[in-house]
Amino acid sequence: MRTYLDCIPCFFRQALQAARISGADLEIQKEVLYNLSQLVPDFSYDTSPVEMGRIIYTMVSKATGKKDPYKEIKEESNRLALKIYPELKKKVRESDNPLLTAVMLAIKGNLIDFNLKDSQEISSEIDRIASHNFDLGAICSNKHFNYQYFYQYLLKSKYILYLADNAGEVVFDRILIEQLVDDYKKNILYVVKGKPALNNALVDDAIYCGINNIAKVISCGADCPGVLLEECSSEFMRLFEEAEMIISKGQGNYEALSEESSPIFFLLIAKCPVIAKHIGCGIGDFILQNKSLKLEIDSSGEANKGKEKENISG
C-alpha cells in the first residue's frame, strides 16, 4: 500500500507520541515535529507508510538517545497478555470451532498497538479483549473475512510463515499457532522484526511469550514497523519467496505487503481510516483477507491456486 496524503497528519501524531514515550522534553518533541515537517516536501507517496514509520522512529531515537523507547511497554504487554493465556486457551477449548476461535483471538490481539500509552491502557485493552464474545455469524458473513479460503489453503500447506506484529499480541498468536501445530500438524516459522520498531515484537518478545516451544522464531532482518521486503535480509527473502502460505498480522505488515502476489493471508483489525478505505471495509472490522489468490474450492474441499490481481481503489 502506498502512502496517502491522509497519512501525513498521522505521521505527525505518531512522531509526537513516540517522542513522548521516549521521555523527550517539550523542546525535543518540538524538534522532532520540526524535523518531520522538513521531510514533507520531498516525501515520496509511492512508498509504503511503514517506510516513513521507520524514518520517524529513527528520528525520535536519535533525538532522544533511546534505542528502544517502547521496551517497557512491550514487556508490560507481554506480561499482561500472558496472564490471560489460560483464559484464552479455555475459550478455544470450549469452542465449537477451536481453529476459528483461535483465528479470531489472533486478530483480536491486534488491538494491542502503539496507541496504548501505559500499563493501565494496555491492561484494560487486554481485559476487554479477553471478556469480549465474538459474534462469529456476523464476522464470518463479512466479505473481507475469507475464513473458508484460509481453511482450505491451510489444509494443503505444510510450512507456514507467520509474520508477527506487536508485543503482547504474540500471546494471541501463540494460541493460533498451537492450534495449527497440535491439531493440524503444521510447521511454523514465526517472523519478528530485526531491530526495534515501535512496539513490534522482537526475538526476545517471542521467546518470553513461549513461541519458541512450538515454532521456529526468526527475524526478517529489517527495522520497519511492517515487513518491508526491500529492507529484509536475503535469508528471510528466500523463505518468503518459497513459502507455501503466509499469515501476516496487523496493519504495518498489510501496509508493507498488500501489493505482493505471494500466498499471504492478512489477519488484522482495520483501525486506520486509510487502511479501511484501501481494503474497502469499515473501521473496526475483522479482516482475514487474501488479495492475490483466487481459490476455487472444489467438492472435495481442496483449494486450487490461481492468480488474480485484485483491483483496489483508495
Please list, in sequence order, all residues whose beta carbon lies within 8 angstroms of the beta carbon of residue 272, skipping any fewer than 6 positions away: 10, 251
**Gap between the Cα atoms of 265 and 248, Å rounded:** 6
Q: Give the residue with the Cβ less far from a second copy, 42 or 94.
A: 42
Is 283 an interacting residue with respect to a second copy (CB under 8 A)? no
Question: Phi and psi for 288 in degrees, rounded to 5?
Answer: -135, 100
* Amino acid code (one letter) for 57: Y
Interaction mask 3-42, a second copy, x per CB under 8 A: --xx-xxx-xx--x---------x--xx--xx--xx-xx-
Least Å distance, CB 244 to a second copy, is 40
Q: How many residues does the chain have?
A: 314
**47-76 residues near a second copy, rule: CB under 8 A:** none
Closest CA to 16 of 8, 4, 24, 5: 24
Is 313 an interacting residue with respect to a second copy (CB under 8 A)? no
Q: Where are the alpha helices (DSSP H) in 40-164?
A: 49-64, 71-83, 85-93, 98-108, 119-131, 136-140, 147-155
SS3 74: helix
Q: Give the residue with the Cβ less far from a second copy, 29 or 64.
A: 29
Least Å distance, CB 57 to a second copy, is 17
**Gap between the Cα atoms of 59 and 65, Å rounded:** 10
Is 86 an interacting residue with respect to a second copy (CB under 8 A)? no
Q: Give the residue with the Cβ less far from a second copy, 5 or 94.
A: 5
Is 46 an interacting residue with respect to a second copy (CB under 8 A)? no
Please list, in sequence order, all residues whose beta carbon lies within 8 angstroms of the beta carbon of residue 244, skipping any fewer than 6 positions away: 156, 157, 158, 159, 160, 263
Q: Give the residue with the Cβ less far from a second copy, 4 or 134.
A: 4
Least Å distance, CB 181 to a second copy, is 42
**Gap between the Cα atoms of 36 and 189, Å rounded:** 36
Is 140 an interacting residue with respect to a second copy (CB under 8 A)? no
Q: Give the residue with the Cβ less far from a second copy, 4 or 85.
A: 4
Is 213 an interacting residue with respect to a second copy (CB under 8 A)? no
Q: Give the residue with the Cβ less far from a second copy, 34 or 307.
A: 34
Q: Footprint of a second copy on this chain (CB under 8 A)? A: 5-6, 8-10, 12-13, 16, 26, 29-30, 33-34, 37-38, 40-41
